[in-house]
Chains A and B, each alone.
Chain A
Amino acid sequence: GAGVSQSPSNKVTEKGKDVELRCDPISGHTALYWYRQSLGQGLEFLIYFQGNSAPDKSGLPSDRFSAERTGGSVSTLTIQRTQQEDSAVYLCASSLDTGYEQYFGPGTRLTVT
């Protein structure tokens, strides 16, 4: 079956602009996760959803970052007023339920110029 998909695969934006990153989880997966991978920080947890609610937002770096999930499926990660330090690969994962094996998408490479 189809895996986790993310769009766009690459995004180049100017400093100060807003960006939206999209994640489509595996069909039937109730849990969805966002991570960020950068050279200096490795792989960092951002936020996860169980259904449409987000029990843990502890990894969001600042209030410029927000995420939502609607209909228990697609999720959008929004970064407002982007900064150069936001440049990274943003990875999305999903699992059948919280606590189950996580399956990752190919990521969105964000470059802020």
Chain B
Amino acid sequence: KQEVTQIPAALSVPEGENLVLNCSFTDSAIYNLQWFRQDPGKGLTSLLLIQSSQREQTSGRLNASLDKSSGRSTLYIAASQPGDSATYLCAVRPDAGGTSYGKLTFGQGTILTVHP
């Protein structure tokens, strides 16, 4: 059974800092990994999706890396801003071929607070 762990559970940083959020998964047989942000009382917003064959993806100030063999992904946020404050979730999808192919398994999330 796939298990996804995110560290730290919460993080508070001053504006302008670069920061790293960590995600680890127990079963390396994944098809892709997706990072989301969730604002309080809202749904999930997709940030980045990394295919299992890729090492990293970048979007603006965000960079996500994937080391499939070791079961790890990191989300790097450069020059953090108060508007980045949210819960960040990572989720993995299993390899194609099984009936569970469509299922995302989520971590518990990292609550990020960026203060001015």
A43-B102 in contact (CB<8A): no
Chain B interface bracket (under 10, 10 to 19, 20 to 34, 35 or more): 20 to 34
Count A-side interface residues using an 8 Å CB cutoff: 25
Q: How far is the CB of B5 from chain A (nearest CB, A)?
A: 11
Interface flag for A55 (CB, 8 Å) = yes
The chain A residue with its CB closest to the CB of B51 is A99
Q: Which candidate, B21-29, B41-49, B66-74, B75-83, is the interface stretch facing chain A?
A: B41-49
Contact of A102 among B101, B104, B108, B109 (CB under 8 A): B104
Known contacts A42-B109, A43-B89, A107-B43; A101/B49 CB under 8 A: yes
Bound form: Cα–Cα A94–B27 in Å = 24
Whether A91 sits at the interface, judged by CB under 8 Å, is yes
Q: Is the Cβ of B44 less than 8 Å from the Cβ of A104? A: yes
- For B31, give its contact among A31, A56, A99 (CB under 8 Å): A99
Q: A98 at interface (Cβ–Cβ under 8 A)? A: yes
Partner of A99, one of B102, B105, B107: B102
Q: Is B96 an interface residue (CB 8 A)?
A: yes
Contacts of B104 in A (CB 8 A): 33, 35, 45, 102
Distance to closest chain A CB from B35 (angstroms): 11
Q: Contact between A43 and B49 (Cβ–Cβ < 8 Å)? A: no
* Cα–Cα, bound, A42→B40 (Å): 14
Q: Which of B42, B43, B102 has the most CB of A within 10 A?
A: B102
Whether, in the assembled complex, B34 has its beta carbon less than 8 Å from a beta carbon of chain A, the answer is yes
Chain B interface residues (CB < 8 Å from chain A): 31-32, 34, 36, 42-46, 49, 89, 91, 93, 96, 99-109
Contacts A42-B107, A56-B99 known; 19 new A-B pairs at CB < 8 A:
A4-B43, A31-B102, A33-B104, A35-B106, A43-B106, A44-B106, A50-B102, A55-B102, A56-B103, A59-B103, A91-B43, A99-B31, A99-B101, A101-B34, A103-B46, A104-B45, A106-B42, A106-B43, A107-B43
